[in-house]
């Protein structure tokens, strides 16, 4: 397909044609999880969105030409605090959360990135980078801390499109007597008591949060690369600080050419976040709903727009996939997807537009032949849905029921007896009990049938 890809670039604050540095070596770095707690639905949105971008890039340039790097932050103040609060070791905590994260990715049918580096495996690169920043006059040491001196980088705030004083006023800035200026950010900090530490020229300590992404992106993608992605909450200060330290240490005018950020997930128009107390963990959905439904919901709105999360959204997505499975056909070889079908995804990852095309393709498949059905299933597979057989989809529905078939039939018998004695209140209570356990019952022609919701 020769159609150009367009992406909204927050560096220019406009939609731009994607022009890679090298079509044979496309680099994409996306900020991954800080493994202090199980990921929530808000964390799931970038997983799905950048998984789709990964697919689009491979479709355009070939599988071997795209290097997708997503890091894992396994040393951080939040991790230390969480380990202390849960009375566990940092190694056990991070091991368990990384396992949970991997299971979430599988549940959401996300492809494994080309590389998934961990911060703790690259501390030596971070120490080297700090030393170079000090030598070049962009960083300073004070009382075993090392800070990046923000006023030495003239383009600071360009990504956020704001002046420095506005950025500082609108964010939480770490207060420290060790800083020269309030806006300076930490590159290295001393470790105290039993906190994890590494030896460095500035004493036993650990790196600041922003530094790891600069070090690992350089290691896997080079000094300059194509796309840097993440949630919009990372735009400042994390990504702004990445640009500053990377460009200064690398002596470049560019760090990443395209900065792509997904918007928040909201509940009742409030951002989903742990600080808000409204998070829904991905793992809590695993036994309740098929991962395809969650994935479909996460791509139902354009990535640049907030996504309001509610039961209606999930029910609508589930009903759509349920309908689409009526034309499911098993595929050994995926047929080519029509070029016009893919156009919305090439145009700034317009997933709602692609879904609209899928609805049209479904209508054609529903009234057409097996080839139409194969093309439809292939188009669904491209965005990671209808990836299970129809049997697997139906089996999950049965397995997720919170009550056995034997108990369902027993409940129906009790309900029928209540109806015979005209105790309709009791009959309704039993119906509601079954509904709570995802079982729908229907009375027709004097008989009662049931199905998993």
Residues 298-314: tens digit of each pLDDT: 999 999 999 999 999 99
Residue 234 lies in a domain: yes
Q: Are residues 203 and 58 in the same domain?
A: yes
- CA dist., res. 364 & res. 235, Å (int): 42
Is residue 170 predicted with pLDDT exceeding 60?
Answer: no
Mean pLDDT, range 260-266, rounded to an integer: 96
Separation of alpha carbons 61 and 342, rounded Å:
14
- Domain match, 74 and 117 both: yes
- Looking at the structure, tell me whether residues 159 and 297 fall in a common domain: no
383 and 426 co-located in one domain: no
Axis-axis angle for helices 123-135, 240-250 (nearest 10): 70
> What's the CA angle centered on 316, arms 311 and 319, to 5 degrees?
125
Instruction: Indicate whether 276 belongs to any domain.
Output: no
Burial class (CB in 10 A: 0-12, 13-18, 19+), 315: middle
Task: Look at residue 57 and give its three-state secondary structure.
Answer: helix
**Residue 59 placed within a domain:** yes
Based on the domain organization, do 301 and 423 belong to the same domain? Answer: no
69 pLDDT band, cuts 50/70/90, is very high
How many C-beta atoms surround the C-beta of residue 206 within 10 A?
23
Confidence of residue 397 (pLDDT cuts 50, 70, 90): low
Phi/psi of residue 267, each to 5°? -130, 120
Average pLDDT, integer, range 388-406 = 74
DSSP 332: S
Question: Does residue 453 carry a pLDDT above 70?
Answer: no
274 vs 429, more confident: 429
Domain assignment of residue 156, yes or no: yes
**What is this structure's pTM?**
0.87
User: What tokens were used for 317?
Assistant: 């997505």
Residue 1 pLDDT? 62
Quote the CA–CA distance of 234 and 5 in Å, as a whole number. 24
Binned at pLDDT 50, 70 and 90, residue 381 comes out as very high
Q: What is the mean pLDDT of the chain?
A: 92
What pLDDT does residue 444 have? Answer: 84
pLDDT, position 451? 77
User: Which domain, by its residues, includes 40?
Assistant: 6-266
pLDDT digits (tens, 9 = 90+) for 47-61: 999 999 999 999 999
294 to each of 192, 195, 368, how far by Cα in Å?
42, 37, 29
Same domain, 255 and 393: no
- For 411-448, write each residue's pLDDT tens digit: 999 999 998 898 988 989 998 888 877 788 888 888 88
For residue 325, tell me if it sits in a domain: yes
Backbone angles phi, psi at 451, to 5 degrees: -155, 155
Number of structural domains (the chain) is 3
CB 427: neighbour CB atoms within 10 A? 19
- Judged against a pLDDT cut of 70, whether residue 158 lies above it is answered with yes
* Secondary structure class of 233 (helix, strand, coil): helix
Whether residues 207 and 339 fall in one domain: no
User: Is there a single domain that holds both residue 184 and residue 39?
Assistant: yes
Count of H-run helices and E-run strands, the chain: 15, 15
- Say whether both 33 and 138 belong to one domain: yes
169 against 166, higher pLDDT: 166
Residue with tokens 């004493």: 203
Shared domain for 174 and 313, answered yes or no, is no
Residue with tokens 């993608």: 221
CB 108 within 8 A of CB 295: yes
Adjacent-strand bridge partners of 34: 73
Q: What is the pLDDT of residue 88?
A: 95
Q: What integer pLDDT is reported at residue 434 of this predicted model?
A: 87
Res. 110 pLDDT band, cuts 50 70 90: very high
Residue 141: is it exposed, middle or buried by C-beta count within 10 angstroms (0-12/13-18/19+)?
Answer: middle
Specify if 1 maps to a domain. Answer: no
Q: Is the pLDDT of residue 400 over 60?
A: no
Residue 360 maps to a domain: yes
Least trusted range by pLDDT, from 211-220, 273-282, 442-451: 273-282
Residue 387 shares a structural domain with residue 429: no
Average pLDDT on 128-152 reads 97
Question: Would you state the pLDDT for residue 271?
Answer: 78
Q: Which residue intervals of 262-389 are DSSP H helices?
A: 291-298, 311-324, 339-346, 351-366, 370-382
Show the tokens assigned to 10. 């927050």
Residues 426 and 341 in one domain: no
Which residue, 235, 266, 297, sits at the end of a domain?
266
Query: What is the pairing mode between strands 225-231 and 265-267?
Result: unpaired
CATH code at 69?
3.40.50.620
Least confident of 119-133, 171-185, 248-262, 282-296: 171-185
Specify if 279 maps to a domain: no
């Amino acid at each position: 397909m020769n159609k150009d890809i367009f992406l909204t670039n927050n560096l220019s604050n406009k939609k731009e044609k994607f022009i890679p540095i090298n079509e044979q070596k496309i680099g994409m770095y996306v900020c991954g999880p800080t493994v202090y707690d199980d990921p929530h639905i808000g964390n799931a949105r970038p997983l799905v969105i950048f998984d789709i971008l990964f697919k689009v890039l491979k479709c355009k340039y070939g599988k071997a030409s795209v290097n997708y790097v997503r890091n894992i932050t396994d040393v951080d103040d939040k991790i230390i605090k969480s380990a202390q609060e849960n009375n566990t070791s940092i190694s056990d905590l991070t091991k368990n959360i990384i396992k949970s994260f991997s299971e979430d990715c599988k549940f959401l049918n996300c492809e494994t990135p080309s590389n998934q580096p961990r911060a703790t495996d690259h501390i030596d690169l971070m120490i080297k980078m700090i030393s170079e920043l000090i030598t070049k006059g962009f960083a300073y040491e004070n009382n075993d801390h090392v800070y990046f001196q923000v006023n030495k980088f003239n383009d600071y705030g360009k990504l956020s499109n704001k002046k420095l004083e506005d950025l500082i006023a609108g964010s939480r800035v770490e207060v420290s007597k060790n800083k020269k200026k309030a806006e300076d950010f930490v590159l290295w900090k001393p470790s105290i008591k039993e906190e994890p530490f590494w030896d460095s020229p500035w004493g036993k300590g650990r790196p600041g949060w922003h530094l790891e992404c600069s070090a690992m992106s350089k290691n896997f993608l080079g000094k300059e690369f194509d796309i840097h992605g993440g949630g919009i909450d990372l735009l400042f200060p994390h990504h702004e600080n990445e640009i500053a330290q990377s460009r200064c240490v690398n002596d470049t005018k560019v760090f990443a050419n395209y900065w792509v950020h997904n918007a928040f997930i909201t509940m009742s128009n409030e951002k989903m976040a742990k600080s808000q107390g409204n998070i829904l963990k991905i793992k809590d959905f695993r036994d309740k709903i098929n991962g395809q439904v969650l994935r479909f919901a996460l791509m139902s709105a354009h990535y640049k727009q907030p996504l309001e999360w509610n039961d209606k959204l999930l029910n609508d997505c589930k009903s759509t996939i349920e309908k689409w499975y009526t034309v499911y056909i098993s595929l050994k070889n995926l047929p080519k997807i029509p070029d016009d079908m893919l156009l919305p995804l090439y145009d700034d990852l317009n997933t709602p537009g692609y879904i609209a095309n899928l609805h049209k393709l479904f209508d054609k498949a529903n009234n057409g032949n097996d080839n139409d059905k194969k093309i439809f299933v292939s188009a669904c597979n491209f965005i990671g849905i209808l990836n299970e057989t129809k049997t697997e989809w139906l089996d999950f529905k049965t397995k997720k029921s919170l009550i056995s078939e034997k108990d369902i039939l027993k409940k129906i018998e009790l309900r029928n007896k209540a109806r015979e004695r005209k105790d309709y209140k009791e009959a309704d209570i039993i119906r509601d009990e079954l509904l709570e356990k995802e079982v729908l019952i229907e009375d027709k022609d004097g008989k009662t049938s049931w199905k998993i919701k």
